[in-house]
Structures are given as C-alpha cells and as structure tokens.
C-alpha cells in the first residue's frame, strides 16, 4: 500500500471549500473525492514549526521540543532550529524500522535531511535547495539537470512533474 500525505500549511479550510465549489481548485476536488480528506486540529502555539513537528512525531511541542524556527542561544543570539533539534523519533524513523520507503518534499524542519530508505528534499526554513539539503546526495544531480530555479516552489513543482512523482497524474 502507498500512502501520500498532502499538507497545506496555513490554508483556510473554509476558503479551500469555497474554491473547490467554484471550480477554481479542480485537483483539490479530485483529491477530496478519491481519498481521505478533512480538517486537522492544530497544536499550541499554532505555528508552522510546532504543527509540522507534531505531525512528524505524533507529539505535542512540550514532548518534541520545537516551538519556533529559532531558539535563543543567549541574551542576544539565536540559532535556526533544524531537524537535529527534534527531540523525538519521527514517522520517517518508524517507517524505516518497518522497512517502508519514505519520500519527503519540502516538509518544514527536515534540514538536514535524514538518511532514509527513499528520498528527502528539505523544507523550511531553508529558502534554496543545494547539495546538503537533499538525501540521497545523488538526487542533487537530478535536481540540477532539471534546469529550474532551486527556490522552493518552482523546484518542488518540477520534481513532482519530472521525476519522483512522474507516475501520478492529477487532471
């Protein structure tokens, strides 16, 4: 069995429903009709790093330790939070322990990418993909051959169109 999770950070479920009904989002309509679909409750605080890390770990921020994109080092300095700061196993770890392949595109706080049985293209807070933000490293040469901007949105669109998800068609 193959499972795909398509998450839209910060999207208003009400607006998505309106746009589906107006025919503006036909691919969302197709996904809604042919798959599991629904609203999710978020965590507190309801911000990207907390919510996605809770999704990946199944734990609240107090258990996984991520509250923002940065963490205070001292009175004046901050560090960017990375996947190394997540204080818990993730769904990627669980899947690999059960010999399941993993594919991850642009999920927040997945930099540096984990060594998984599959592939990982890191997500926020990075703004550009380069060699150390993908796993396996050979994926970087595939990305470079696509001749598109390595900024996140165009890159993810091109990866989905040309390589990793080339067997999926959504009309």
Based on the fold, state whether residues 45 and 118 are members of the same structural domain.
yes
Residues 140, 72 share a domain: yes
Evaluate if pTM is beyond 0.75.
yes
| Same-domain check for residues 74 and 156 | yes
Peptide bond into 30 cis (omega under 30): no
154/88 same-domain check = yes
The verdict on 26 and 46 lying in the same domain is no
Same domain, 45 and 65: yes
50-97 pLDDT per residue, tens: 999 999 999 999 999 999 988 888 888 888 899 999 989 999 999 999
Continuous segment of H or E residues that includes residue 58: none
Same-domain check for residues 89 and 118: yes
Instruction: State the Cα angle at 103 between 117 and 55, rounded to 5°.
Output: 110
Shared domain for 19 and 47, answered yes or no, is: no
Domains: count for the chain: 2
How far is Cα 44 from Cα 60, in angstroms, rounded to an integer? 8
Dihedral of the alpha carbons of 66, 71, 73, 75, in degrees to the nearest 10: -130
Whether the predicted pLDDT of 146 surpasses 80: no
Cis amide linkage into residue 105, ω under 30° from 0: no
Residue closest to 150 by CA, chosen among 110, 115, 122:
122
Residue 93 confidence (pLDDT): 94
* C-alpha closest to that of 4 among 88, 101, 97, 90: 101
User: Domain range spanning residue 26?
Assistant: 7-39
Q: Show the tokens assigned to 152.
A: 């996140």
């Amino acid at each position: 069995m193959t499972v795909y999770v398509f998450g839209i950070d910060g999207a208003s479920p009400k607006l998505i429903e309106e746009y589906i009904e107006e025919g503006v989002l036909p691919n969302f309509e197709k996904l809604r009709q042919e798959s599991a679909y629904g609203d999710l409750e978020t965590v507190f605080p309801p911000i990207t790093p907390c919510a996605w890390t809770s999704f990946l770990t199944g734990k609240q921020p107090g258990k996984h330790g991520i509250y923002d994109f940065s963490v205070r080092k001292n009175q004046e300095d901050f560090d960017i939070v990375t996947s190394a700061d997540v204080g818990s196993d993730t769904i990627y770890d669980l899947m690999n322990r059960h010999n399941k392949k993993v594919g991850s595109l642009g999920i927040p706080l997945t930099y540096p990418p984990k060594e998984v049985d599959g592939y990982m293209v890191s997500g926020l807070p990075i703004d550009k993909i380069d060699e150390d933000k993908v796993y396996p490293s050979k994926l970087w040469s595939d990305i470079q051959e696509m001749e598109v901007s390595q900024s996140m949105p165009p890159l993810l669109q091109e990866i989905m169109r040309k390589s990793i998800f080339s067997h999926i068609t959504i009309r």
